[in-house]
């Protein structure tokens, strides 16, 4: 299975394929939500915004899904984090790995306490997308 640099265009393509396939299997006509992850200090070859920032997002609205490489400002919920802080978390598969999941939770808490990660907005809209719960592990298995 080919792996890709975290948050690269190819990595976002894997996210797109998964999200689109999951949305195709569920009724998304009443779901309206947008989620974004924004990473600071990203490697130059994956930067999508000014000042060393990259990101990715998905939006579900009007029965349609959009997944893109870049940052959107109108997301309901955004995670902002330092790229190097997040990469080890992005590579951690949680399924069947309770120790890894617990260590990742502690790492997130530490990153938030250190100001290297924060959540913005309201993630309540994500509650309408339980069928995307496997996204992290799909991406973790493909993150170089």
For residue range 71-110, list pLDDT tens digits in order. 999 999 999 999 999 999 999 999 999 999 999 999 999 9
pLDDT digits (tens, 9 = 90+) for 28-71: 999 999 999 999 999 999 999 989 999 999 999 999 999 999 99
**Is residue 14 classed as helix, strand or coil in its secondary structure?**
helix
CATH topology of domain 9-140: Nonspecific Lipid-transfer Protein; Chain A (3.30.1050)
User: What is the pLDDT, as a whole number, of residue 125?
Assistant: 75
User: What is the pLDDT, as a whole number, of residue 19?
Assistant: 97
Whole-model pTM: value is 0.93
Alpha-carbon span 143 to 4, nearest angstrom: 5
User: What is the pLDDT, as a whole number, of residue 126?
Assistant: 81
Task: Give Cβ neighbours of residue 47 (< 8 Å, ≥ 6 apart).
Answer: 53, 54
Q: How confident is residue 24, by pLDDT bands cut at 50, 70 and 90?
A: very high
Task: Give Cβ neighbours of residue 109 (< 8 Å, ≥ 6 apart).
Answer: none
User: What is the pLDDT, as a whole number, of residue 128?
Assistant: 87
């Amino acid at each position: 299975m080919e792996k890709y640099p975290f948050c690269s265009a190819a990595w976002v393509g894997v996210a797109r394929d998964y999200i689109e396939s999951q949305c195709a299997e569920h009724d998304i006509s009443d779901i309206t939500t947008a989620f974004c992850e924004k990473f600071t200090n990203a490697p130059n070859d994956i930067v999508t915004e000014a000042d060393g920032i990259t990101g990715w997002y998905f939006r579900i609205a009007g029965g349609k899904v959009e997944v893109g490489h870049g940052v959107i400002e109108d997301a309901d919920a955004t995670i902002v984090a330092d790229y190097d802080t997040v990469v080890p978390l992005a590579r951690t598969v949680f399924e069947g790995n309770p120790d890894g999941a617990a260590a990742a939770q502690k790492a997130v808490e530490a990153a938030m306490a250190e100001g290297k990660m924060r959540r913005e907005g309201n993630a309540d809209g994500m509650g309408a997308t339980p069928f995307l719960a496997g996204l992290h592990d799909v991406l973790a298995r493909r993150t170089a």
